[in-house]
Amino acid sequence: MPGSLLTMFGWRSFVSMALLLLLAAACAPSPQRLPSGEWERTARGSHIDYLELRGAAHDPEAGAAVARLETFLGQVGAHWRVPETIRYYRFEDRDSLREHTGWDTNGRALTDLDAVVSIHAADAHEVAHILTAPTGRPLRLANFWLEGIAMFYTWPEVYFPPEVVEERELPRTIGVWSGRSVHAWAQDAQRDGTLPELEPLVHGNRAFDALPLDVSYPAAGSFTAYLLGPGHGDPARIAALRAFFDEANAAASTGAVLAAFERHLELRLAEAETGWHAFLDGWDETALR
């Protein structure tokens, strides 16, 4: 152990501090732990086990939600890894999710366990995390890429029945944040000067996590959608992105990520960023409606 710690704290203080740190680690919610409570399956699809808390008010539309998720898997799964079974833990609300997981969030993907916890009846974003996670472990790919591909697949038609999508005039088959496409949000950020430079975001998470959520997530999703193309994305580009993810997950530096990007996507990140900016300049959100 470093001598400086012993000098600063002394043996007794050091041992006490170590015990406190161990206790804190034991009490902290694990990112790969299934929720507590008694669960029962209320719907089932080919790949989705839909689970709700025993004794809680069950969603009468669970079957329809599973059907939307299964349709989503059928549309995008051929390009990614679809587990034999995805356990989908559906909570009534955010408070219930926090009580049984310790996480103050609307949803989370447990990629090592092929499981999702969510307050949404059908959460495309979290299911996409399961499908698109790099194959290597530990999972070290920057959040810019992990959230970018999940935002690409955050399609309103998976969350809502068709009549709701129609009534709210939500964009279809494109990533959406708070009712608008990821491109619309990124376009706003570009116009007001808050769209982030990409190089600081591609390795590590400090720069990405420091951004406002309504900038970071839509920007990541917009850039990913620009790379892959509209709708379901070009299969060849998806395969290239998947190979890049696997290599970037093992990269030890920003330079290594940039080299992997150029190798698999066949252009430099700076070139892709310039093209993305030009794309945003011409984006017309009204055309989606």
pLDDT tens for 172-194 read 999 999 999 999 999 999 999 99
More confident residue, 57 or 2: 57
Rounded (5°) CA angle 133-75-123: 60
Full strand arrangement of the beta sheet holding 48-53: 39-44, 48-53, 86-90, 115-118, 107-110
More confident residue, 2 or 283: 283
Give every CB contact of residue 25 below 8 A, 6+ residues apart in sequence.
none
DSSP-H helix ranges across the chain: 3-27, 62-76, 94-101, 124-132, 143-152, 156-159, 162-167, 182-192, 206-209, 213-228, 235-249, 254-265, 269-281
Of the pLDDT bands very low, low, confident and very high (cuts 50, 70, 90), residue 47 is: very high
Average pLDDT for residues 32-52, to the nearest whole number?
A: 96
pLDDT digits (tens, 9 = 90+) for 126-143: 999 999 999 988 999 999
Mean pLDDT score of the chain, rounded to an integer? 89
206/200 Cα distance (integer angstroms) = 9
Amino acid 20: pLDDT = 30
Which tokens in the block code for residue 248?
A: 């970037």
Of the pLDDT bands very low, low, confident and very high (cuts 50, 70, 90), residue 13 is: very low
82/179 Cα distance (integer angstroms) = 28
pLDDT digits (tens, 9 = 90+) for 79-126: 999 999 999 999 999 999 999 999 999 999 999 999 999 999 999 999
Amino acid 21: pLDDT = 30
83/66 Cα distance (integer angstroms) = 15
